[in-house]
Every structure is written in structure tokens, then in C-alpha cells.
Amino acid sequence: MNKYLFLDFDGVLNSENWTKSPALTLIGGCFGVDPNAVMFINQIVERTQCQIVFSSTWRIHHSTEELRQILVDHGFKYPESVIDSTGRAWTLMDREKDRTAFLAEQNEKYGNWYRGYEIDCWLNDNVKGRKKFAILDDDSDMWKHKNRHVKTTWTRGISQAHVDKVCEVLSFV
């Protein structure tokens, strides 16, 4: 069974602390990527053999291939593990029969939910049967996937504790 890591950039691979670093590099006007954070992603892939799907808003302005290369340029050792990016909620909602009713129901049930919906659509479109995945993100819009969400913070980004938690989530059947 394949394992998937849905990966955010801002607040995971960079952080407020990183923006104060003399090593900071901007990428397309964004805060760049902290090579130390990338080393944590290397650990996750090494320990779980997961595949990476980008769920970051960076996917709006960069292709999956460009995002993969950004990681590699900052020390990522497993480019073959990067397989895709999620779609955008507003486009994906076109598949719903009554978009207005769907939006109202989801807002009432989940509040902030868009990223989780995008992840759910990707899983339903790409993975058959039991789904083994974790979400690494500093945001809270994970819809019905909160039990698989490992939440970082914009202030600090990813830490060893987050790595261990992602590996734990991916170890459950």
C-alpha cells in the first residue's frame, strides 16, 4: 500500500524564523525554502517511503516539476518520490451537483475546509481502496482529515517532533 504525504510550503518548509535568516533566498517573490526543513522531509521519506503530493498554494504558480526542483535545489534527496499536486477547490467543486448547497453544507460542518477538500478529491481520483496519508501544513482547513493532519506553525515551521508524528500517522493501517 502506497503512503502519501500532502506537503505545504509556507509554514512548513519556510517560517517566520527563516525569514530572519541571512541565508534567506526569495523564489518568485516567496520566502524561499529552508534547507534545514528540507532535511526533515528527507527523513520522512527515508523512514516511510511515502510519495509526496504538493498541496501548497505554491502549486498555483509553479508546476509539480518546478516545485520538485526547488526542493532538490535545497537538498532534497528523493525527487522520484514527488508525484503530483492537488487541484484547486473552486475548479473541483464543479463536479458537485449543487455547488451552492455543497458550499453551505461544508461551511456549516467544517468551517475552514478547502485544502482538505482538495486533498480528498486527489485521493478519490488517484487512490483505490484504503488510503494511507498524512498532511503536513500550518493551516487548519483540512476538512474531515484532521486526524491525519500534522500541524506546524508559521513561526517555527517543521521540527523533529513533526517528523516523528508524520511517520506515526503513516504507520497506521
Contact criterion met (CB below 8 Å) for 122 and 115: no
Confidence of residue 23 (pLDDT cuts 50, 70, 90): low
**Predicted local distance difference test score (pLDDT) of residue 96:** 64
pLDDT in tens, 57-102: 888 888 999 999 999 999 999 999 999 999 866 555 555 666 566 6
Mean pLDDT across the stretch 7-14? 94
d(C-alpha 149, C-alpha 143), whole Å: 10
* Helix, strand, coil tally for the chain in percent (to 5): 45, 15, 35
Mean pLDDT across the stretch 43-66? 93
CATH of the domain at 98: 3.40.50
Q: Which helix (H) or strand (E) holds 4?
A: strand 3-7
Confidence of residue 27 (pLDDT cuts 50, 70, 90): low
d(C-alpha 112, C-alpha 139), whole Å: 9
Residue type, position 132, single letter? K
pLDDT in tens, 113-149: 577 888 888 998 899 888 899 999 998 877 678 899 9
Number of domains in the chain: 1
d(C-alpha 44, C-alpha 32), whole Å: 20
Structural domain for 126, as ranges: 3-171
